[in-house]
Structure 1
Amino acid sequence: MIERAGVDQIKELTRFFPAIALVGARQTGKTTLVQSLFPDYSYVSLDVPSEAALAEHDPDAFFALHPAPVIIDEVQYAPGLFRHLKVHIDAARHEMGRYILTGSQKFGLMKSLSDSLAGRVGIVSLEGLSFAELKAAHLGSLRPWLHRGGYPELWRLPEFPARQFFASYLATYLERDVRQLLNVGDLRDFERFIRVLAQRHGQQLDYSAIANGIGVGARTVKAWVSVLEASNQIFLLEPWHGNLGKRILKKPKVYFADSGLVCWLLGIEADSLDQSPFVGPIWEGAVFAELRRQSGALGLNRTFYYYRDNEGTEVDFLVLGGGARFIEVKWTQYPGTADGRNLKKLAGLTHSGSSPELRDPTLWILCRTEQAYPLEVDVAVTAAGLSSVGKILTG
């Protein structure tokens, strides 16, 4: 089994919280991870309708049948269970790590956790496999990771055709998650929306343009975007809004969580990835995923933004927390000095602007190089590959 980053974080939280919640999209390895970490715990999945119904309508009988210590998988399917879980926790408040919860629907689950279990639950996010995890397991190189993505099943079974996995994944997602979260009259419309949105991976989110492209209203598109975000299929990257004396564009950018899913939605085969017009956005999204995944695994409190102003200055990622890091992403092995132009321009603006959290940033170009090196003599722009992400986040 691939060793997952963040295991130490989960173990640490079980020392201080009666319950642990592992949150992430379907098939990211949540169940496998918690069952390997807590092999002596009983296990129940609320993906089973009868178990979900029992948990929702007769929680006392549910807990009698599944006493602690217990793993409760896909706990969002029984929102009424949380108040009763609080009672059980408070009856033995000093006993830590007895309830392990997993869930794949972020917004509803987080609301239930904050409303009923505040101060009683430690929360960990789990995405697909990072490049660092695959590299440590000697399983994949950069291009296969980009094309297949980070769903563990695709790496546990290397012969599993990615197109078959994603076709099944999308069908299950539409039937189980979309139907529950949203009253969609025709799931084919929603599937068409997902494919249109994939074409805008890494771009600013324009609800009206998407709505016009698929023949629905902008309000419908906003609701559908919320569903994808709630189920951890996409991430919205907000623009940085501080005061640098420039007019800053304010639409978020949209990224699918998994590069393999994007490749499948766009019909990109492994041998044509380099020639695809989408390779730049796919690489950019993969870098964003690696930043998020390693930040979470390292237990770091980092926030992510992008920068774009009306004069055309754009920087792909601003990473704040423990200092500032400005990052440009380039699908090249050897970036040129011009590739660092916007980094230096934005760094110059931060010296004269009134945003102290951006001052004295480190400047990075994340590209396909194996070894980090300074881009220019006497200029603090460093070209680096994905293997440097941990250093970038902690430095």
Structure 2
Amino acid sequence: MAILGPRQVGKTTLAMELLATDGATQYLDLESPADAAKLADPLSYLDSRRDRLVVIDEVQRAPDLFPVLRGVIDQRRRQGQRAGQFLLLGSATGALLAQSAESLAGRIAYMELQALTINEVPTDDAQHLWLRGGFPESLLARNDAASLRWRQQFISTYLERDIPQLGPRIPAETLRRLWTMLAHEQGQLLNASKLATSLAISGQTVTRYIDLLCDLMLVRRLLPWADNGGKRLVRSPKVYVRDSGLVHALLGLGELDDVVSHPVVGGSWEGWVIENLLAVLPQGAQAFFYRSAAGAELDLVLELPRRQRWAIEVKRSAAPTLSRGFHQAAEDIGATARYVVYSGSDAFPLSADIEAVPLADLQQRLIDVGKSPTSTPRKAARR
């Protein structure tokens, strides 16, 4: 199995919990020269520990290891040895999946460990979760200032150390400026030409840099729903910085009052809601947004098991109202359920077929969909 997620999200902590429950384990951190040296002759090392679960952290640093793992797994299968003897931890999906997909096809399962979501914190911590984001050390910092410092250091570490170690030669300051621009444009349609002009680089370079941030699970492209051949639809994706705390840190917003008085407040809350919902999507479900040239729009369209199609609008207001564009968009896509996620604490009907629901409520409904016999949850629960 491979557990994927950005740095500091809790992958190693989860692995250590597994180690604590089973003494027959071996942990290797490939950022440690001593541990990396142990895999200088990987066949011999792994053969000498064939009776243990071997946990390999930051595995994307050793691309040559994947073909070796394939040979070891196939040999053990032929000998009738049980599966599940390797747990790989990685913080880069694009490179890691490309390497493992080629070498370990049919031999590996993936789980994405995302930042903490609203169903994993006490109810009264929801505002802190939105402000500080879901990285545990940021959320649990002693105060808002300490949390902001942690996130700013996290950003600098990625730019100055982690990304260069993955190979791409990207000026750290250029990537920081792009990341900050994406935070300013949270939830807006991607305009690569506009970003390229501001950064004095090409549109292709902007796309490549965004690809990298997506591979590192720091940015999300949300694609447009495009099943309606009779409508003129927007074709550009929306782009979100995935963690709300990083949005605020990139913009220098350290306290809740700073966020609610900033123009990004709506986009920040929308992105936070969307990430919380996508974190619990059932296996095989798909997520899109919808926007037509005529102005019909939905913040989120979820294609779920059993031909369910949810139309979702995100409103930070405690008294949400809907435009005609929502109703038209829901009709356009043939929605089977229509929801408005709002900032209140109780679910109530807005009309005969539209319900206003708190985020935690709708997230739980998605979890329940994932528990059905026809689908499997995408994300394992964490304590």
**What TM-score results when the alignment is normalised by the length of structure 1?**
0.85
C-alpha separation in 2, matches of 1:46 and 1:238: 35
Q: Quick one: structure 1 residues 124 and 183, their matched pair in 2 at CA, closer, same or farther if it must change by over 3 Å?
A: closer
Question: Does structure 2 retain, via aligned residues, the 8 Å contact 1:343–1:363?
Answer: no
- Structure 2 counterparts to residues 348-359 of structure 1, below 5 A: 348-350=331-333, 359=334
The reply on whether 1:27 has 2:11 as its aligned counterpart is no
Equivalent residue of 1:141, what SS?
helix
What do the CA deviations read for 1:235-268 (whole angstroms, capped 9, x no partner)? 1000011125111110011111100000010112
Q: Quick one: structure 1 residues 330 and 210, their matched pair in 2 at CA, closer, same or farther if it must change by over 3 Å?
A: same
- Structure 2 counterparts to residues 221-260 of structure 1, below 5 A: 221-260=206-245
Partner of residue 101 from structure 1, selected from 88, 92, 97:
88
The reply on whether 1:375 has 2:360 as its aligned counterpart is no
In the TM superposition, residue 360 of structure 1 has moved relative to its aligned partner by 4.4
Segments of 5+ residues of structure 2 without an aligned counterpart are: 370-383
**What one-letter code is carried by the residue in structure 1 that aligns with 2:178?**
F
Instruction: Select between 314-323 and 242-251 the one with higher mean Cα deviation.
Output: 242-251
Instruction: Select between 85-94 and 362-371 the one with higher mean Cα deviation.
Output: 85-94
| 1:318 match | 301
In the TM superposition, residue 37 of structure 1 has moved relative to its aligned partner by 2.6
C-alpha separation in 2, matches of 1:155 and 1:37: 23
Partner of residue 103 from structure 2, selected from 116, 127, 147:
116
- CA RMSD, aligned part only? 2.0
| 1:390 match | 363
Q: Quick one: structure 1 residues 73 and 185, their matched pair in 2 at CA, closer, same or farther if it must change by over 3 Å?
A: closer
The reply on whether 1:86 has 2:70 as its aligned counterpart is yes
| 1:278 match | 264
Question: Does structure 2 retain, via aligned residues, the 8 Å contact 1:149–1:259?
Answer: yes
Q: Quick one: structure 1 residues 185 and 131, their matched pair in 2 at CA, closer, same or farther if it must change by over 3 Å?
A: closer
| 2:162 match | 177
In the TM superposition, residue 53 of structure 1 has moved relative to its aligned partner by 5.8
**What one-letter code is carried by the residue in structure 2 that aligns with 1:147?**
L
Instruction: Select between 190-199 and 154-163 the one with higher mean Cα deviation.
Output: 154-163
In the TM superposition, residue 60 of structure 1 has moved relative to its aligned partner by 2.5
What do the CA deviations read for 1:200-230 (whole angstroms, capped 9, x no partner)? 1111111110011122111211111111011
Equivalent residue of 1:348, what SS?
helix
| 2:283 match | 300
Question: Does structure 2 retain, via aligned residues, the 8 Å contact 1:52–1:77?
Answer: no
**What one-letter code is carried by the residue in structure 2 that aligns with 1:335?**
P
- Point out 4+ residue stretches in structure 1 off by more than 6 angstroms: none
Aligned length: 357
In the TM superposition, residue 386 of structure 1 has moved relative to its aligned partner by 1.1
In the TM superposition, residue 183 of structure 1 has moved relative to its aligned partner by 3.5
In the TM superposition, residue 66 of structure 1 has moved relative to its aligned partner by 5.9
In the TM superposition, residue 61 of structure 1 has moved relative to its aligned partner by 4.5
Q: Quick one: structure 1 residues 216 and 364, their matched pair in 2 at CA, closer, same or farther if it must change by over 3 Å?
A: same
Q: Quick one: structure 1 residues 347 and 188, their matched pair in 2 at CA, closer, same or farther if it must change by over 3 Å?
A: closer
Partner of residue 275 from structure 2, selected from 251, 267, 289:
289
Equivalent residue of 1:121, what SS?
coil
What do the CA deviations read for 1:22-51 (whole angstroms, capped 9, x no partner)? 011111101101211342321111122454
| 1:356 match | none
Partner of residue 152 from structure 2, selected from 154, 167, 175:
167
| 1:60 match | 43
In the TM superposition, residue 389 of structure 1 has moved relative to its aligned partner by 2.3
C-alpha separation in 2, matches of 1:99 and 1:316: 39
In the TM superposition, residue 105 of structure 1 has moved relative to its aligned partner by 0.4
Q: Quick one: structure 1 residues 86 and 268, their matched pair in 2 at CA, closer, same or farther if it must change by over 3 Å?
A: same
What do the CA deviations read for 1:70-100 (whole angstroms, capped 9, x no partner)? 1110111001001111122122224122111
Q: Quick one: structure 1 residues 175 and 214, their matched pair in 2 at CA, closer, same or farther if it must change by over 3 Å?
A: same
- Structure 2 counterparts to residues 127-138 of structure 1, below 5 A: 127-135=114-122
The reply on whether 1:361 has 2:336 as its aligned counterpart is yes
**What one-letter code is carried by the residue in structure 2 that aligns with 1:28?**
V
What do the CA deviations read for 1:114-149 (whole angstroms, capped 9, x no partner)? 1111111111011100011012xx6x5222111100
**What one-letter code is carried by the residue in structure 1 that aligns with 2:360?**
S
| 2:376 match | none
The reply on whether 1:331 has 2:298 as its aligned counterpart is no
C-alpha separation in 2, matches of 1:364 and 1:148: 26
Equivalent residue of 1:273, what SS?
helix
Q: In percent, how many aligned pairs have the same letter? A: 32
Question: Does structure 2 retain, via aligned residues, the 8 Å contact 1:184–1:190?
Answer: no
| 1:9 match | none
Equivalent residue of 2:169, what SS?
coil
**What one-letter code is carried by the residue in structure 2 that aligns with 1:282?**
S
Q: Quick one: structure 1 residues 392 and 343, their matched pair in 2 at CA, closer, same or farther if it must change by over 3 Å?
A: farther
Question: Does structure 1 retain, via aligned residues, the 8 Å contact 2:232–2:292?
Answer: yes
Equivalent residue of 1:248, what SS?
coil
The reply on whether 1:45 has 2:25 as its aligned counterpart is no
Question: Does structure 1 retain, via aligned residues, the 8 Å contact 2:187–2:238?
Answer: yes
**What TM-score results when the alignment is normalised by the length of structure 2?**
0.88
Q: Quick one: structure 1 residues 204 and 62, their matched pair in 2 at CA, closer, same or farther if it must change by over 3 Å?
A: farther
